[in-house]
A and B are shown apart, each in its own frame.
Chain A
Amino acid sequence: MSVIDWIVFVAFLAYVVGDGLRRSRGTKDLEGYFVGGRSIPWWAAGLSIMATQASAITVIGTTGQGHDGGMDFVQAYFGLPFAMVLLSIFMVPLYRRLPILTAYEYLERRFDARTRTLASLIFLVSRCLAFGIVIYAPSVVLSALLQIPIETTVIAIGVLTTGYTLFGGVNAVIWTDVKQMLVIVGGLLVVLVILLQRLLAELDWGGVLTALGAAGKLNALEVTPESSVLVPRLAIDEDGPRSFWEEKYNVWSGLIGGLFLHLAYFGCDQSQVQRILTNPTARESRMALLMSGFAKVPMQLGVLFIGVLLWLFYTVQPGPLLFDPSDRAAAQGNAEVAQLQEQHEALRQRRVAMVQQIGEQAGPGDVSPDLLRDYQAAVVEARALRERAAEALHGEAKVRDTNYVFPHFVLTHVPPVLLGLIIAAIFAAAMSSADSTLNSLTAATVVDFYRRWLKPRATEAQALLASRVVTLCWGAAATVAALSLRGGGSIVEWINKVGSFFYGSLLGVFALALLVPGAGPRAGFYGLLGGMTSVLLAHWTVRIEFLWYNVIGCLGVLATAGVLRLLGADRR
């Protein structure tokens, strides 16, 4: 990275942190610290909603997913617009009617204190598990990009984010998110333009789509599942046929599982509910949610498209066998990996010739069967060579460099100044997710535990001081956790998987509160436990993909409440 890139990068960081700290003025009570005095305009809250969800996930994880698996991941977001409409109809009026600071306060008013406490605890556990990853995963990539130790990037993200969130509260979080979101979109657009410029020099637009489609990368909507077996396979069944429930992304898991996931995430997760609470009116809260409903699917499509273009780019241009710099360092002097690298390059050159032939066709359907078979076999073989290299280095035939594809391209093909901007965008993405998580963890800790159980008579000044101390503690804990983490894989899946273990049950208890007027406190509390138990049982006993956990958890809550009602054990 050149000096000018460092200047762009550091200037952006200084601006964001300075702006965040400036927002601390006027934060005198919990209303100011956690809901910004309910004065944030809808467009700022809407951008913050998107930035919170975007994280470094969108920039590096989703492009990596596009490179590895094609466009199919977009289907996980198909339920989101419908979720936003349902939340605008049912949850916004509910949250805006009450003077609450956390989503879980509503549960005490509707059920009882223990249901609120359990729900808040579930949120804290799920979020703090993900919080370390939110800091760690982009830190690994940034350390590779900036060629500095990972400990430095973890501490930089942890300290800077904790610093401005500590002083500015949600005001700082939202207004820095707005700027971070703009930088993220700008950085992604720059990469998209550079990629298209390079690829369109080799192929025309139709050729690009044909070469991608013939490799199965344009799998944006898959109606027909790979398996029609509806009985889930048992966890102990290693060799049986895969069932419908094991397919990670198709239109059904996206529409149904994705609907439940997004209802839970945007309607019951404090990091997002807090955005709904910051607007002056219910109208603005609805607008903030619907903004994401309009924009998220097209944005994910664009990001995944960058990922598949990266795959094609590294077919027509030389690239590394493995993208993780630590893998490449470990491979130095490894004869087996060197041989695999040679085979990979020879195969790539064969694929370039095939891509040129395929690119001349009007569409993948016009490619001759022999050429298509050879091309697809080469695509599969290239993947197998990468897996063999991973096995030679790690003893496991699993490629774990998903998060390094985008950074590698940026570092090697993006010109100065723009490189600084894109690295700033990745940093911004990491901070925009970490700050919201931090502020919401603090809100739940202070409002649902400190002020509810430990010090109910705390003054506003005491509670605000406690909030700042708690922010510092959560920030320090997450930074320490991130320093101790190791591993790879896709960040986006990690976060969604962790969330899916808990979200369905949270959604279930809110659904119970809203849809079953007769449900009493026991149904709320034991329903929540029942939902969590259902997800754990499903995880241990059957093979099922994580998006469905959200449905299972939600139905588990409602079923438990129904059983209690039948047994006469729940009275309101």
Chain B
Amino acid sequence: MSDEARPPLGSWARLYVLVVVIAVAIMMALYWFTARWNIPLSAS
């Protein structure tokens, strides 16, 4: 089997989905983090 035929995680689609899922998870975590910890300067 050639190197080209062996994508990580078995298929490229899975790896792409993993990248997207991690990116979305980071953004959701940052959304929570901002809502939990940040108060904009104009808020007071």
Given A221-B31, A363-B37, A84:B26 Cβ within 8 A: no
The reply on A411 being an interface residue by CB < 8 A is: no
Residues of chain B in range 1-44 having any CB-CB distance to chain A below 8 Å? 3-4, 6-8, 12, 15-16, 19-20, 22-23, 26-27, 30-31, 33-34, 36-41, 43-44
- Among B3, B6, B16, B31, the one with the most A-chain Cβ atoms within 10 Å of its Cβ is B16
Task: Please report the C-alpha to C-alpha distance between residue A283 and residue B44 in the assembled complex, in whole angstroms.
Answer: 52
In the complex, residue of chain B having the shortest beta-carbon distance to the beta carbon of A373: B44
Residue pair A85, B16 in contact (C-beta under 8 Å): yes
Given A85-B16, A376-B41, A380-B41, A223:B23 Cβ within 8 A: no
Give, as a whole number of angstroms, the nearest-CB distance from A404 to chain B.
23
Give the chain B neighbours of A81 by CB distance below 8 A. 19-20, 22-23
Given A85-B20, A297-B26, A218:B8 Cβ within 8 A: no
Residue pair A219, B19 in contact (C-beta under 8 Å): no
- Among A81, A88, A286, A297, the one with the most B-chain Cβ atoms within 10 Å of its Cβ is A81
Given A88-B12, A283-B4, A287-B8, A78:B37 Cβ within 8 A: no
Residue pair A376, B34 in contact (C-beta under 8 Å): no
Tell me which of A283, A364, A379 contacts B38 (CB under 8 A). A364
Residue pair A213, B19 in contact (C-beta under 8 Å): no
Tell me which of A251, A363, A365 contacts B27 (CB under 8 A). A251
Give the chain A neighbours of B40 by CB distance below 8 A. 216, 219
Interface of B is mostly: helix
Given A364-B37, A376-B41, A290:B15 Cβ within 8 A: yes
Residue pair B33, A218 in contact (C-beta under 8 Å): yes
Task: Please report the C-alpha to C-alpha distance between residue A274 and residue B35 in the assembled complex, in whole angstroms.
Answer: 41
In the complex, residue of chain B having the shortest beta-carbon distance to the beta carbon of A370: B44
Give, as a whole number of angstroms, the nearest-CB distance from B14 to chain A.
12
Given A82-B20, A298-B26, A213:B37 Cβ within 8 A: yes
Give the chain A neighbours of B27 by CB distance below 8 A. 78, 221, 251
Residue pair A85, B19 in contact (C-beta under 8 Å): yes
Give the chain A neighbours of B31 by CB distance below 8 A. 221, 223
The reply on A126 being an interface residue by CB < 8 A is: no
Give, as a whole number of angstroms, the nearest-CB distance from B40 to chain A.
5
Give, as a whole number of angstroms, the nearest-CB distance from A143 to chain B.
34
The reply on A281 being an interface residue by CB < 8 A is: yes
Tell me which of A214, A283, A365 contacts B7 (CB under 8 A). A283
Task: Please report the C-alpha to C-alpha distance between residue A221 and residue B37 in the assembled complex, in whole angstroms.
Answer: 11
Given A372-B44, A376-B44, A216:B38 Cβ within 8 A: yes
The reply on A385 being an interface residue by CB < 8 A is: no
Residue pair A281, B3 in contact (C-beta under 8 Å): yes
Residue pair A218, B34 in contact (C-beta under 8 Å): yes
Task: Please report the C-alpha to C-alpha distance between residue A372 and residue B38 in the assembled complex, in whole angstroms.
Answer: 12
Tell me which of B4, B36, B44 contacts A281 (CB under 8 A). B4
Give the chain B neighbours of A363 by CB distance below 8 A. 36-37
Give, as a whole number of angstroms, the nearest-CB distance from A363 to chain B.
6
Tell me which of B8, B15, B34 contacts A221 (CB under 8 A). B34
Residues of chain A in range 190-214 having any CB-CB distance to chain B below 8 Å? 209-210, 212-214
Task: Please report the C-alpha to C-alpha distance between residue A547 and residue B30 in the assembled complex, in whole angstroms.
Answer: 21
The reply on A294 being an interface residue by CB < 8 A is: yes
In the complex, residue of chain B having the shortest beta-carbon distance to the beta carbon of A219: B38
Tell me which of A74, A213, A286 contacts B12 (CB under 8 A). A286
Task: Please report the C-alpha to C-alpha distance between residue A82 and residue B22 in the assembled complex, in whole angstroms.
Answer: 11
Give, as a whole number of angstroms, the nearest-CB distance from B38 to chain A.
4
Give the chain A neighbours of B26 by CB distance below 8 A. 297-298
Give, as a whole number of angstroms, the nearest-CB distance from A92 to chain B.
10
- Among B20, B31, B40, the one with the most A-chain Cβ atoms within 10 Å of its Cβ is B40
Task: Please report the C-alpha to C-alpha distance between residue A84 and residue B22 in the assembled complex, in whole angstroms.
Answer: 13
Task: Please report the C-alpha to C-alpha distance between residue A365 and residue B34 in the assembled complex, in whole angstroms.
Answer: 12
Tell me which of B23, B34, B37 contacts A297 (CB under 8 A). B23
Task: Please report the C-alpha to C-alpha distance between residue A81 and residue B43 in the assembled complex, in whole angstroms.
Answer: 32
Residue pair B19, A290 in contact (C-beta under 8 Å): yes
Give, as a whole number of angstroms, the nearest-CB distance from A211 to chain B.
10
Tell me which of A213, A287, A290, A293 contacts B39 (CB under 8 A). A213
Given A281-B3, A294-B22, A376-B44, A89:B16 Cβ within 8 A: yes
Tell me which of B6, B22, B37, B43 contacts A210 (CB under 8 A). B37
Task: Please report the C-alpha to C-alpha distance between residue A376 and residue B8 in the assembled complex, in whole angstroms.
Answer: 49
Give the chain A neighbours of B44 by CB distance below 8 A. 369, 372-373, 376-377
- Among B6, B26, B36, B37, the one with the most A-chain Cβ atoms within 10 Å of its Cβ is B37
The reply on A282 being an interface residue by CB < 8 A is: yes
Give, as a whole number of angstroms, the nearest-CB distance from A224 to chain B.
10
Task: Please report the C-alpha to C-alpha distance between residue A218 and residue B33 in the assembled complex, in whole angstroms.
Answer: 8
Residue pair B36, A222 in contact (C-beta under 8 Å): no
Residues of chain A in range 56-98 having any CB-CB distance to chain B below 8 Å? 70, 74, 78, 81-82, 84-85, 88-89
Give, as a whole number of angstroms, the nearest-CB distance from A340 to chain B.
21
Residue pair A74, B39 in contact (C-beta under 8 Å): no
Question: Which A-B residue pairs are the 4 nearest by beta carbons?
Answer: A81-B23, A213-B37, A216-B41, A218-B38
Ordered by A's residue number, 28 sampled pairs between the chains whose C-beta atoms are within 8 Å are A70-B38, A74-B30, A78-B23, A81-B22, A81-B23, A84-B19, A85-B16, A85-B19, A85-B20, A89-B12, A212-B37, A213-B37, A216-B39, A216-B41, A216-B43, A218-B38, A219-B38, A221-B33, A222-B34, A251-B27, A286-B7, A290-B15, A363-B36, A364-B37, A364-B38, A372-B44, A379-B41, A380-B41
B-side residues, CB < 8 A to A, are 3-4, 6-8, 12, 15-16, 19-20, 22-23, 26-27, 30-31, 33-34, 36-41, 43-44
| Inter-chain pairs besides A213-B37, A220-B33, A297-B23, 18 sampled, C-beta below 8 Å | A82-B20, A84-B19, A88-B12, A89-B12, A219-B34, A219-B40, A220-B34, A221-B30, A251-B27, A281-B4, A283-B7, A286-B12, A290-B15, A293-B19, A294-B22, A364-B38, A372-B43, A376-B41
